Structure 1
Amino acid sequence: MPVETERKAYLIGGGIASLSSAVYLIKEGFNAKNIHILEHLQVAGGSMDAHPHNDPKGRGHLFRGGRMFDQEAYTCLFDMLENIPSPVNSGKTCKDDIFEFSKLVPTSAKKRLLDDRGEFDVSHLGLSLKDSTALSVLLYIPESQIQDKKINDYFSADFFTSNFWYMFCTTFAFQPWHSLIEVKRYFRRFLHEVPKLHDLSGVWRTMFNQYDSIIKPTQDWLVSQGVNFDFGITVTHLDFIITEEYRAVEKINYKKDGKCETIDVSLDDLVFTTLGSLTAGSAIGTHTEAPKFDFESCKNDPTWNLWTDIAKRQPDFGNPQKFFADSRASCFESFSVTLKDGGKLLQRIVEWSGNQPGTGALVTFPKSSWFFSIVVPFQPHFKDQPKDTQVFWAYGLNVENVGDYVKKPMIECSGQEFMTELLHHLKWEDMLDSTLENSICIPAILPFTMAQFMPRQIHDRPQVVPRNSRNFAFLGQFVEVPEDVVFTVEYSVRCAQTAVFHFMKSSRKVLPIYRYTLHDIIESGKAVLA
């Protein structure tokens, strides 16, 4: 395949959508040296970050979120990772790593929900005939009929106290006031996982965190091919040419080191822009201090400001206000825990849960006022993790609620205070002093992590390749990919395939979305009704 030598590509945003776009551009014959990834941070990966973090108490690890995969639904991601050399297994790919690790360390949670008696029971989903019927009917309601509807506009109040909801909403981070369109898409996309919600045995994982297992290897391969990573660049606005025949980007305006600069773009160049960010406006605390955060100032973020400016240019460029206007409704808080107690707390968690690290799933505390869950990954979770440390992750959905034991809202708590709340819920007060002394818990408030779930109309998200686009595309969790589900790496990679294959006039087609047969739907329906 001949390599294009003059045409340039500018990928705005350094997340997985841009990295995947660069991979596919190279595979379609684009000159890697003419690909520029413009990122306002000093590191690639966007929301898929994980790294050591400096804390006044010592060195801890920060991972603001984690991602799960399955074999059926993540076809685009695995297709992209077939091109990326494994960072740990010579001669193999990152796709090979995920497949082999997930078979070597299969997920099968022994415990999933903790009730107020400290017991577990997920032998039934707890749905009434009314709600299970409503769920089945929802699968076939056209999206045009449920625009701007919330989940709690459709289901009864009892639905939100069922085991099904507790397991489903914590797996995907839904709230009752989120979009009915989005939850319908999730029901359809992951219907095959419903019979396995109680143990998440269909889940696949990476060996390390996703930065070490996906982002860094992909970035390293792109650099080896000649791709340019330009960090510290904040794109402020794009200038468009609008005619009856076509629409195109003609200038990229940005700031670097406090100076305003411009990139001239030809009609033959490409500009792919990631809209919005799930980790925009984040605030990081420490083991001893709560994050410094308020719900208004977090909205002044360059990623949202850029989309807001773009949306003013044409009516079909999306409606960002629908997604980031109410950060209270989309907020999420995570806690990264590093243990230096010789494995005592981790071993107790293993004995209590019945799962070795990496073999369990979310353990959720639905009766806690913070509605939090904990996840213990395979160790080590970081490539550079010291042998004498262990890590685990927790997150809460009710960020403004006062704790059951620590009488403060979760968002006002330090890492120590979260650990105190957790150990009281576990009734392990005997370990409290030693755990607080030998752990580093880093809280992270993410006000827009669930923004992609906010109620919306069909046209609030722009197309990946807008009508009559000559040289630009939109990427990420806030563009429209019919039938697919946001808040997944798969969604971002599918955007990349859509944009690249279109503009490169590729013979390849975007990989089809995994669908179920009528038999599959009937069998999953039986599981819901059981």
Structure 2
Amino acid sequence: MPREIASLNTGTLKPSTRQSRKAHLIGGGIGSLAAAAFMIRDGQVPGENIFIYETMPVLGGSLDGGGNPDSGYMLRGGRMLTTDNYECTWDLFRTIPSLADPGQSVFDETVAFYLLHKPHSMARLVDRNRHRVAVQSMGFSMADRIELLKIVEASEERLGASSITDWLSPPFFETNFWYMWATTFAFQPWHSAVEFHRYLHRFMLEFSRIETLAGVKRTIFNQYDSLVRPLLHWLEARGARFTTDCTVTDINLRDDHGMVLVANLMTMCRGVPATIPIDDGDLVFFQNGSMTDASSFGSMTSAPAKLTKADSGGWTLWEKLAMQRPEFGNPTAFNSSIAESCWHSFTVTLKDPAFFDRMLAFSGNEAGTGGLVTFRDSNWFMSIVLAHQPHYIGQPDGVQVFWGYALHPDRIGNFVAKPMADCTGAEILHELCGHLNFDKATVASAICIPCRMPYITSMFMPRARSDRPLPVPATSKNLAFVSQFVEIPDDVVFTVEYSVRAAQMAVYQLLEIDRAVPPIIHHDQSVKVKLNAVIKAFQ
């Protein structure tokens, strides 16, 4: 059975006080869902006192997965996990039962799956001649090593709001290391030096095996089916209340002896405006900002629409709050340059095994064991990944799904004379077959659905520490922030872990739960890990 963690009563709040509280969560992504679970599991808040409001028709936020075998499956992205990190994520999912086997936790299910399908990429990079690149060497010059060491050793105060290019010279961005690190984590040269620095420390254990992706753990299915659905099932069984097609349009604040208190929420639910009063002792959790805001999908015959926050309104509420209280952050630092935060992904559905068979012959990897295959010389800087099949619950036999993305969708393709941003699914398949030298017959049955995400790496934008609020700002009495846009020392954004850690920190602080949030494991302090990283840097 999944390990149960007993609710703890040793904080300063009495259990009866916690049980009478209501919690209102704005946004239905993993941050809110995790916060709800921690409140129930560790805070003794009854599920029926937890209300989650989500603008979209489904919950799960960026951890989505939809579509069908006839019109095509759709994924905006996929998250790589690791059991060597992700301390808060696994603390949660050790107690969430698997849907397939309720006697097993999601964590145990994921580890068991990993042991059966261990990743070891044999085609991490592919060159312009369709040859697999030898990647045992990171390709560093001595100048590259010196520059990398400087950014690793620099303090965050010194790095400030600088970009990666302020610390690394142009030749660095032509190394094997950069091609692999950038596509594994979706970094661009103009992104934040602080975030790059944090990744180098947080994932130093992965540095020495970046060419094989041996440290990556993947869920059995896409993250919606493997993480979100079991968590939703667990919350629903405990009475948590979900309202979809419901937008919180304003959070009204009042002063309470120098502290900020949420007085009420203004909502628009299914076209009907309403005011939700927030009683004394009630809590509000807000998912500020969204990396997948204003996403749009295309088709085999159309490119995705070029939407912005003006079309979605996804940043409006945070912008309103930040104008009132500077300690609530500065969203402008993240959402003001779509050209620097946008990339495109695509999901391909096949009813013919020809493409997967050719990829096995080309890469040497069974689907689910190879990780990203990056086309190093692609103008679009394109990568694909073939997951273990089926990738969706209920996916029929004979149907296969894979995913890909490109970091430079604004550039003209190598085989299609237009930017990826203007390409249909059919044109993306044409470009992909060109890089692999595959006959178009291998994708004759394919349905390729492209996706544009204008703010997908907005949390990587150069920023000051004050641009992100704390999970519970010092002046806040009942309002917490749980998203990729909060400040958590030492941890890294663009991970499931960041949202879950923010949720756990906020819940434990506001409910005064006397249980420690799992500490970050500092692999970068291990002599062995450091030595392996140095050895890899000199290969």
Using the size of structure 2 for normalisation, the TM-score is: 0.95
Task: Give the match for residue 37 of structure 1.
Answer: 52
Task: Give the match for residue 486 of structure 1.
Answer: 493
Q: Which amino acid aligns with 1:417?
A: E
1:6 maps onto 2:6 in alignment: no
Q: Displacement of 1:518 after TM fit?
A: 4.6
Give the Cα separation in 2 of the matches to 1:344 and 1:423.
Answer: 12
The aligned runs of 1:33-432 (5 Å cut-off) are 33-52=48-67, 58-119=70-131, 120-294=133-307, 297-341=308-352, 343-428=353-438, 431-432=439-440
Q: Displacement of 1:69 after TM fit?
A: 1.1
Task: Give the match for residue 10 of structure 2.
Answer: none
Which SS does the other structure have where 1:131 is aligned? helix
Q: Which amino acid aligns with 1:386?
A: P
Which SS does the other structure have where 2:31 is aligned? helix
Q: Displacement of 1:347 after TM fit?
A: 0.7
Give the Cα separation in 1 of the matches to 2:218 and 2:444.
Answer: 31
Q: CA offsets per residue over residues 173-211 of structure 1, 9 Å max, x none?
A: 000000001000000000011110111011111000000
1:450 maps onto 2:457 in alignment: yes
The answer to whether the 8 Å contact 2:137/2:536 transfers is no
Check 1:175–1:83 CA distance in 2 against 1; reply closer, same or farther (3 A cut).
Answer: same
Give the Cα separation in 2 of the matches to 1:188 and 1:227.
Answer: 37
Q: Which 5+ residue runs of structure 2 have no aligned equivalent?
A: 1-6, 8-14
Give the Cα separation in 2 of the matches to 1:356 and 1:518.
Answer: 33
Which SS does the other structure have where 1:391 is aligned? strand
Q: Displacement of 1:70 after TM fit?
A: 1.2
Q: Which amino acid aligns with 1:6?
A: S
The answer to whether the 8 Å contact 1:267/1:470 transfers is no
The answer to whether the 8 Å contact 1:136/1:525 transfers is no
Q: Displacement of 1:87 after TM fit?
A: 0.9
- Of the structure 1 ranges 404-413 and 112-121, higher mean CA displacement relative to structure 2 is found in 112-121
Give the Cα separation in 1 of the matches to 2:408 and 2:152.
Answer: 28
Using the size of structure 1 for normalisation, the TM-score is: 0.96
Which SS does the other structure have where 2:481 is aligned? strand
Q: CA offsets per residue over residues 143-179 of structure 1, 9 Å max, x none?
A: 1112221111110100001000000000000000000
Q: Which amino acid aligns with 1:306?
A: L
Q: Which amino acid aligns with 2:436?
A: L
Count matched residues: 521
The answer to whether the 8 Å contact 1:144/1:458 transfers is no
The answer to whether the 8 Å contact 1:113/1:122 transfers is yes
- Of the structure 1 ranges 466-475 and 438-447, higher mean CA displacement relative to structure 2 is found in 466-475
Task: Give the match for residue 468 of structure 1.
Answer: 475
Q: Displacement of 1:407 after TM fit?
A: 0.4
Give the Cα separation in 2 of the matches to 1:244 and 1:301.
Answer: 36
Q: Displacement of 1:12 after TM fit?
A: 0.6
Give the Cα separation in 2 of the matches to 1:245 and 1:298.
Answer: 33
- Of the structure 1 ranges 330-339 and 237-246, higher mean CA displacement relative to structure 2 is found in 237-246
Percent of counterpart pairs with the same letter?
Answer: 40
Select 1:527's aligned residue among 524, 529, 536. Answer: 536
The answer to whether the 8 Å contact 2:355/2:443 transfers is no
The answer to whether the 8 Å contact 2:26/2:53 transfers is yes
Give the Cα separation in 2 of the matches to 1:363 and 1:477.
Answer: 27
Task: Give the match for residue 512 of structure 1.
Answer: 519
Q: Which amino acid aligns with 1:394?
A: G
The answer to whether the 8 Å contact 2:19/2:44 transfers is no
The answer to whether the 8 Å contact 1:283/1:445 transfers is yes
Which SS does the other structure have where 2:173 is aligned? helix
Give the Cα separation in 2 of the matches to 1:358 and 1:145.
Answer: 41
Give the Cα separation in 1 of the matches to 2:487 and 2:102.
Answer: 38
Which SS does the other structure have where 1:521 is aligned? helix
The answer to whether the 8 Å contact 2:371/2:385 transfers is yes
Task: Give the match for residue 500 of structure 1.
Answer: 507
1:23 maps onto 2:37 in alignment: yes
Task: Give the match for residue 12 of structure 2.
Answer: none
Q: CA offsets per residue over residues 52-74 of structure 1, 9 Å max, x none?
A: 159xxx42100111111111111
Give the Cα separation in 2 of the matches to 1:382 and 1:518.
Answer: 38
Give the Cα separation in 1 of the matches to 2:171 and 2:48.
Answer: 57
Q: Which amino acid aligns with 2:21?
A: R
Give the Cα separation in 2 of the matches to 1:450 and 1:353.
Answer: 29
Give the Cα separation in 1 of the matches to 2:310 and 2:164.
Answer: 25
Give the Cα separation in 2 of the matches to 1:35 and 1:518.
Answer: 41
Give the Cα separation in 2 of the matches to 1:293 and 1:468.
Answer: 38
Which SS does the other structure have where 2:191 is aligned? coil
Give the Cα separation in 1 of the matches to 2:537 and 2:411.
Answer: 31
Give the Cα separation in 1 of the matches to 2:510 and 2:58.
Answer: 27
Q: Displacement of 1:513 after TM fit?
A: 0.6
Q: CA offsets per residue over residues 298-350 of structure 1, 9 Å max, x none?
A: 44433211111111111111110110010110001001000112x11111111
Q: Which amino acid aligns with 1:143?
A: E
